Structure 1
Amino acid sequence: MKETIHLLHVNDLHSHFEHWEKIVRYMDEQKELYESAGDIVYKLDIGDHVDRFHPFTEGTMGKGNIELLNAAGMDGATIGNNEGITLPHEALNHLYDEARFPVTVANLYDELGRRPNWALPYFIRTTPQGRKVAFFGVTAPFTELYRLLGWKLTDPYEEIGAVLKELEGQADLIVLLSHLGLPSDEWIAANYPGIHVILGGHTHHILHHGKVIGNTLICGAGKYGMFVGHVEITIDNGEITAVSSLKGMTDEGYTNKEIETANLLYNQGKAELSDVLLNITHPLTTDWFKTSDMPKLLCEGLREWCKTDCAFINAGLLLDGLDKGPITRFDLHRICPHPINPCILTVSGWELLSILAQTENPKWPHFQVKGLGFRGSVMGMFVYDGVEKKDGDWRIHGERILKRAEYTLAIPDMFTFGYLFPEIKDVKRKRYLMPEFLRDLLGWKLAQSAR
């Protein structure tokens, strides 16, 4: 007999809770509607629901996000890179302790090669007519960053092959929860025809009616809760048909209930971060386009923490200054919300000079940055410590940089991913310091300065 299965999916919410109340209400309404007609409904999250830019997520270390997913009645989830590499090892290992839904991520292991008990390679649900629906997830292979946090991430494509082999004869319908990005999803669809539906994320792609490659329907619902995805699957006498659509959550603006929910979560996070870290005796300024206190302090702290010859940052990392008086964790989070880690480069003088020359590009101060961990607005001017340009030459502690010499440079990790500084991406000797974020270094430097 024929059965109809509905998949309601969201991805890459990134703790943008502005439309969360509407998302949950819409999913609940659709579930009630379809189940009253005898259909089956599964609600799924495709990762990066957590983002520590938001005080609610920061204050609860992501556990508040899991409470929201529980309350939404999710039937399954996978993890994104924001769950995987912005939380310390123990925080991720206990993130899903209270989850009332299965989490599937087939390519995550601990350092000894064991899957954590919360990370399933796949899970199977049985429909009223006895059909088996298999769900499995994989996440983006930021292998080295996971390793630094005590995890082992394996090749997602190899794990897909292994899971599909294990599912042979066990499933009538196979759904992949992929936090790999659209290009990877397209490759998977072309090379693994046994997958019927790919629910995608990571690259924030919007596929209003999905994309069919071979036997596979690829889906993606954008980012920040702008859309809820809906896949309607019909199974009849062994024939499977699937169609995809998106429902916009932003079309009607914000309701009072949405504003109330978003404000409640923000204030709850603020309260969680209210502990006082230190006191400062005078206000500290921030300016993106001219020399100011906070960027200078952060850059000094970055170099000192990393113990390098020199460092640079962009002033846009600091969103505001600080008033004199007590400074809380919320204050530091408010002015430096980015999930960005420090990184140490070991470079030749020639490479260092090339990188520093790139920072002089006049486009940078007003350049708008999206992603790469950056949660601000514009790049802002570059700020340096340990290195300066004098009489036309770059110098480290007063000495000209020698092209054949070796130097260490501390930078925010956002510059290593290629989009902003291709020269830095090609540097072979990089060392990421984790799990500390830049705001942790800023708090450390402020505490030193306040002594």
Structure 2
Amino acid sequence: MVIGDILCELEVMVYNLSLNNLISFTSRNSYINTASKSDADVKTSIFYVNDLHSRLANMDGIKAKADEFKLKNPDADKFLLSGGDMKVGLGEKIGDLVLKFMNLIGIDLSAIGNHEFDAGTIKLQEQIDKMNEHARRNNLSPFKFVVTNLDIDEKNPLAKSIKDKKLVKSCIITRNGHNYGFVGATPISLKESARLNPGMDGIQVKNLYKTTEEIEKEVSLLEKQNINKIILLSHLGYKNDKYIANKVSGIDVIVGGHTHNVLKGIDPGKNLFLTPEKEPVILLEAGKDGEQVGTLDIIFDSDGIIKEANNKIIDNETPVKDLKVQKLKDEILGKSEALGFLEKPYNPIKKYRCENPMASLFADAMRNKAGAQIALMVNDNALVNNGLKAGEITTRDIQNLSPFKNKIYKTNLSGKELQEILSWAVGKGKSSSAIQVSGIKYTITNTRDVKNLILESNDNSKIPIDPDKQYSIVYDEHLLYKANYNKAFNIIEILNTKNKEEQNWDKGDALVEYIKSFNNKPFEIKPKNRITIEPHFTSFTGSKDAIKNWLKERNQLLVS
């Protein structure tokens, strides 16, 4: 825990004592500021969403919830806001779709997250240009990105968005004669998150303390223009948002993201804080993947201080098909095409440290298309959390499962190098995630190591991997990204120094082709027993001191 986090936690405890005297709860979702003025009240309603991650299947429901929001509270000033990471990956068409979707539902402003940069700034700028043209042709009002802690050189492609005022440090929006100020923040770890991607030269992200100073500066500029209702759109993550809430006066609401928290209702010390001037600030975050959205209804007093507030998280569970969303998907991605039939429904195994049947299916498809002996891939959020209904499977289902469109590489690795990669993945402490495979089986030991690497075979013969033999491998770039992010330089060297060949397809393309090869024969998604995990704790006899020492040595194992 860094010093800033410690200070933040201490300050929250102190502020909570004041909050208890300041607010009166009317329900789990609401509060009333008993110290606030009662004249010239201003009603404000905010619809918020964050971390959609290009999840196509949830777009229709989000549109339905946004439409419902627009019809409610006709006397309130309304805003539709995003906490960032609405798009992910290298897919140009999916990126285009997400930004145009945000225009379609009426998003006013958005934070800019790390995943917005997945394809680099050149592609991001191109997508912003396409989004603006789409808005112009369809008589829509294009949204802006708001980011206060990002310095962009004039030679970087995103300098065009700054010039066009589509990427701003702060802005003012007027609703019904009432002025609102907005500031924004991108993750302070942006460069580390985007290190594999092109076009990041000429971009500098400020650390937490410089970010705080920049936000204070922009808030001060807004206040000098008599703006007393200010909203921060942040992709800093929950702890950093709490720090900002307690450190910066003048902010009333923080629409957050990045950490995928579901912040329900109004809870002092969790999503309700006091600024240094002892004014309330509410922190919002609505999970991930469009599984939830949120609405916040506020009453400001004449000084712009929150007087009443009601925060609701709304589950996006109702299966709906919105004609405008469907039309947009068809225009950009093409018509959905039937591929095959799933015999039984697949319910996701929402864990990263075991075999994932959905990932195994993708790995099989990659190995088949590449003509490789072995396929390696890392679990991602889409594969861990998404299921499939029984029945017809379409290209749209596969696009929803593989939004990242990562590059695929084929290379040769020795058995020793293969074991080193697999062992590294399960030995990363809390962030460990078993590498998903096709063509081999292996065992994860109770001391976070890998053993018993065996080639898969149709006759169930157990052919061990030879440490000195070369094997043809196909792998998803996400593996290289994870190694970069965790500074696993030995793994990076293994993957980068080989004569790797980039393929002209991604894992989604491979799966589409693979399912088609079944020729409409129903198939199942089920475990293939490729990853065996030994029990964490084996039988142990000995003295109490011996047991304590044994447990101490395996502390990392205990917290997993």
TM-score when normalising by structure 2? 0.54
> Paired residue for 2:109?
76
Q: What do the CA deviations read for 1:213-256 (whole angstroms, capped 9, x no partner)?
A: 333311111123233222223222325116342242435x324x
Distance 1:296 1:120 in 2: 45
> Paired residue for 2:238?
182
Distance 1:294 1:383 in 2: 11
Q: Of 248, 264, 281, which aligns to 2:314?
A: 248
What is the number of residues matched between the two proteins?
A: 379
> Paired residue for 1:305?
none
> Paired residue for 1:323?
none
Distance 2:116 2:193 in 1: 12
Distance 1:51 1:181 in 2: 17
1:96-107 pair list within 5 angstroms: 96-97=128-129, 98=132, 100-106=142-148, 107=150
Unaligned 5+ segments in structure 2 are 1-39, 136-141, 276-280, 338-356, 384-394, 441-452, 456-462, 497-501, 511-560
Answer whether contact 1:289 1:315 (CA < 8 A) is retained.
no
> Paired residue for 2:125?
93
> Paired residue for 2:297?
232
- C-alpha spacing 1:313/1:199, structure 2 compared with 1 (3 Å): same
Answer whether contact 1:227 1:246 (CA < 8 A) is retained.
no
> Paired residue for 2:198?
149
Deviates more, 1:149-158 or 1:171-180: 149-158
> Which residue identity lines up with residue 87 of structure 2 in the other structure?
V
Answer whether contact 1:44 1:77 (CA < 8 A) is retained.
yes
Deviates more, 1:163-172 or 1:128-137: 128-137
Q: What do the CA deviations read for 1:98-157 (whole angstroms, capped 9, x no partner)?
A: 151222123262584774423211111235455442333424633045464212241263
- C-alpha spacing 1:350/1:77, structure 2 compared with 1 (3 Å): same
> Paired residue for 1:214?
274
> Which residue identity lines up with residue 253 of structure 2 in the other structure?
V
Q: 1:44 deviation in Å?
A: 1.0
Q: 1:92 deviation in Å?
A: 0.5
Answer whether contact 1:141 1:155 (CA < 8 A) is retained.
no
Q: What do the CA deviations read for 1:316-343 (whole angstroms, capped 9, x no partner)?
A: 89x9xxxxxxxxx999969965443569
Task: Please give the secondary structure, in 1, of the residue aligned with 2:62.
Answer: helix
Task: Please give the secondary structure, in 2, of the residue aligned with 1:96.
Answer: helix
Answer whether contact 1:180 1:202 (CA < 8 A) is retained.
yes
Deviates more, 1:142-151 or 1:92-101: 142-151
Q: 1:207 deviation in Å?
A: 0.6
Distance 2:238 2:289 in 1: 17
Indicate the percent of aligned positions where both proteins have the same amino acid.
21
> Paired residue for 1:428?
489
Distance 1:355 1:245 in 2: 45
- C-alpha spacing 1:62/1:156, structure 2 compared with 1 (3 Å): farther
Distance 1:340 1:123 in 2: 35
> Which residue identity lines up with residue 230 of structure 1 in the other structure?
T
> Which residue identity lines up with residue 240 of structure 1 in the other structure?
I
Answer whether contact 1:337 1:439 (CA < 8 A) is retained.
no
TM-score when normalising by structure 1? 0.65
Which protein shows a greater Rg?
A: 2
> Paired residue for 2:186?
138
> Paired residue for 2:152?
109
Distance 1:146 1:109 in 2: 15
RMSD: 5.1
1:281-300 pair list within 5 angstroms: 294-296=365-367
Q: 1:65 deviation in Å?
A: 2.3
> Paired residue for 2:552?
none
Answer whether contact 2:366 2:507 (CA < 8 A) is retained.
no
> Which residue identity lines up with residue 395 of structure 1 in the other structure?
D
Distance 1:437 1:163 in 2: 43
Q: 1:62 deviation in Å?
A: 2.1
- C-alpha spacing 1:47/1:388, structure 2 compared with 1 (3 Å): same
1:355 aligns with 2:421: yes
> Paired residue for 2:170?
122
> Paired residue for 2:217?
165
- C-alpha spacing 1:17/1:350, structure 2 compared with 1 (3 Å): closer
Q: 1:205 deviation in Å?
A: 1.0
> Paired residue for 2:533?
none
> Which residue identity lines up with residue 81 of structure 2 in the other structure?
L
Deviates more, 1:138-147 or 1:158-167: 138-147
Distance 2:109 2:291 in 1: 20
Task: Please give the secondary structure, in 2, of the residue aligned with 1:180.
Answer: coil
> Paired residue for 2:78?
41
- C-alpha spacing 1:288/1:342, structure 2 compared with 1 (3 Å): closer
Q: What do the CA deviations read for 1:348-383 (whole angstroms, capped 9, x no partner)?
A: x9997543445799xxxxxxxx999xxxxx964355
- C-alpha spacing 1:441/1:45, structure 2 compared with 1 (3 Å): closer
